[in-house]
Structure 1
Amino acid sequence: MDSEIELRDEDAQPARRAAQSGSSELIPADDRACQSKASETRSEVPRVARKSRASKEKQTRPTARRIGVWAFWLALPLVVTWLTSPVIGQGEGANEYPALSGRPTEATRGVEPLEPLTTDLVGNDLADFVSAGPDEWTSPRGLVSTIKIMVLLTVLSLAPAILMMTTSFVRIVVVLGLLRQALGTQSLPPSQVITSLAMFMTLFVMAPTFTQVKDDAILPYIASDGQMSWEDAWEKGSRPIRTFMSHQIEAADNSEDVWLFFRHLPEEERQDVPETYDEVPLKVLLPAFLISELKVAFLIGFQIYLPFLVIDIVVSTVSIAMGMMMLPPSMISLPFKLILFVLVDGWHLVVGMLLDSFFIGGS
């Protein structure tokens, strides 16, 4: 039996080789059965794929129909609204609405035309210039007005910083910042609280000056209906501010700062030596006033620092004598500083010192 099986296998091998090489020789029955099964398997794969595609198409067809129905019902109101709008039906219903033209119609014949908008704040010249259009804006005459408007907008954007630098704000905020450092409370009070207190005190100190600016420049410029020029309004409005800054520089005996900046002016501007503060150029007076305010603020801060410095020295000496090297002296001295500041009513003293430094009665 084994020999017969071996012979059969040997006879089958040439037949397999012939089938693989494509020859027309006969193939044994076993090999033909294997080939028929393989061909049936290969034919079944496309059938399964075709069935799956057909089932997917059957599933997607109802979904597509539903989407089409919903799209139709959603688009139907839009189409009806578009067909019945007045723009489409202009043939018959156009006369029901007034015509938007310069000619009066029956609907607009009895209505008075609107007057052009004008304002007294800018004057008739500026209003006419703005309503003239781009042709007037780009003309040689309009170019000058455009530059003036740009300068005005620039000044308005820098107005908060200018007001802070030309008022009592600098001195107050520096002193309050030094007070916070002297107490050693890190970020208490917060910077927002210090800035708010400085702003309110600035408004209180500068109230007489601001009132004079309003009476001398702002109200006359508004009432003049464009007859007062910007140069005149600026000259009258800056005069009270110059007076305030001059009084503060002179009261602090810091007039040398004025001559410091005056000596560094161009030679042609140093020909006329000023005899009064009114003759000092504004670009010299502004930095001189700012330096004077910083000097006064540091002097007041030094006076505030002294009592707290004494407390720090005493606490540090005692803690070293007791051998408390690991405990920071600032942690021990902070409660003593706070209780001392509260007992002597420190806020009242500091604010009173600041207000007295401005000579409100004489400025």
Structure 2
Amino acid sequence: MVLAFAWPLDLLAATPVATTASGAFGAASNDTAQALRVVLGLSVLAVLPALLVCVTSFLRIIIVLSMLRQAIGMPETPPNPVLIGLALFFTLFTMSPVLQSLNDQAFQPFMNGALGMEAAYSKGSAPLREFMVRQTREQDLALMIELSKAKMPQGIEDVGNVQLIPAFMLSELRAAFQIGFLVFLPFLLIDLVVSSVLMALGMMMMPPTTIALPLKVLMFVLVDGWSLVLKALVGSFH
């Protein structure tokens, strides 16, 4: 009889302890999830410069701006921080639809706990992959698949990021050099005209750059060159 009454009392006494343990476990789980989110955020910040160069329009923009500076004949003007800042803002303009989709579909649901890490990565990489596929030539993609000795994919969804990202970068380099070549042509024409005029006048000892540089700067300002180049750059992304 004593044992019959003692067992329910022991069960009641043990119940708060179990509840407390369950609550502590839940709190520890939440703390762990929050810590994982912090670690993931710090990791993303650490690799952000590499991601900026590899999977966005930054590469094409900064190369064209650097070639423009060389074409004018002023290798240090505008300085590097100015070109990088300009390239960052125009990268933001061109990538804004992709970033908005990434934020709505992956980042915000992950931060709210509605998506796990793998699901957030899958949903977040989809807009970036779509952007890179639109800018990547089939020849460059085929080259990277051949070099990596990967199995020939049946569709674009079968192409891994290991092949897609370098193919995208190679296509961006090609597009940047094509635009840079067109940027160089008018400045090269000014150099040729100035050199011909100086030789005709017998002023062979005067460096052509002395006269050509102010003329190139004047022409670039008169035609509103920065607006033309940047508008063409943004329009080159499809």
Give me the whole-angstrom Cα distance separating, in 1, the residues matched to 2:141 and 2:71: 32
Report what 1:212 is aligned to.
101
| Alignment RMSD (CA, Å) | 2.7
The answer on 1:317 being equivalent to 2:196 is yes
8 Å Cα contact 1:179/1:301 also seen in 2 = yes
Give me the whole-angstrom Cα distance separating, in 2, the residues matched to 1:123 and 1:350: 53
Structure 2 unaligned residues grouped into runs of 5+:
1-22
Report what 1:160 is aligned to.
49
Give me the whole-angstrom Cα distance separating, in 1, the residues matched to 2:195 and 2:116: 65
Give me the whole-angstrom Cα distance separating, in 2, the residues matched to 1:278 and 1:261: 15
Aligned residues: 215
Report what 1:57 is aligned to.
none
The answer on 1:263 being equivalent to 2:143 is no
How far is the alpha carbon of 1:277 from its aligned partner?
2.2
Give me the whole-angstrom Cα distance separating, in 2, the residues matched to 1:151 and 1:199: 23
Report what 1:244 is aligned to.
131
Q: 2:58 aligns with which of 163, 166, 169?
A: 169
C-alpha spacing 1:352/1:151, structure 2 compared with 1 (3 Å)? closer
Give me the whole-angstrom Cα distance separating, in 2, the residues matched to 1:197 and 1:183: 18
Report what 1:304 is aligned to.
183
Report what 2:14 is aligned to.
none
Alignment of 1:18-167 (within 5 A): 124=30, 126-127=32-33, 154-167=43-56
TM-score, normalised to structure 2, is 0.82
The answer on 1:283 being equivalent to 2:170 is no
* 1:17-55 superposed Cα distances (whole Å, 9 cap, x missing partner): xxxxxxxxxxxxxxxxxxxxxxxxxxxxxxxxxxxxxxx
TM-score, normalised to structure 1, is 0.55
Greater RCO, CA 8 A, separation 6+: 2
Larger radius of gyration: 1
Give me the whole-angstrom Cα distance separating, in 2, the residues matched to 1:124 and 1:152: 17
Report what 1:345 is aligned to.
224
Give me the whole-angstrom Cα distance separating, in 2, the residues matched to 1:172 and 1:292: 13
Give me the whole-angstrom Cα distance separating, in 2, the residues matched to 1:152 and 1:345: 41
8 Å Cα contact 1:312/1:333 also seen in 2 = yes
Structure 1 unaligned residues grouped into runs of 5+:
1-114, 131-144
Q: Which residue identity is paired with 2:145?
A: F
Give me the whole-angstrom Cα distance separating, in 1, the residues matched to 2:175 and 2:33: 47
C-alpha spacing 1:317/1:275, structure 2 compared with 1 (3 Å)? same
How far is the alpha carbon of 1:195 from its aligned partner?
0.7
Specify which structure has the higher proportion of helix.
2
Q: 2:79 aligns with which of 190, 193, 212?
A: 190
- Percent identity (aligned): 44
How far is the alpha carbon of 1:191 from its aligned partner?
1.0
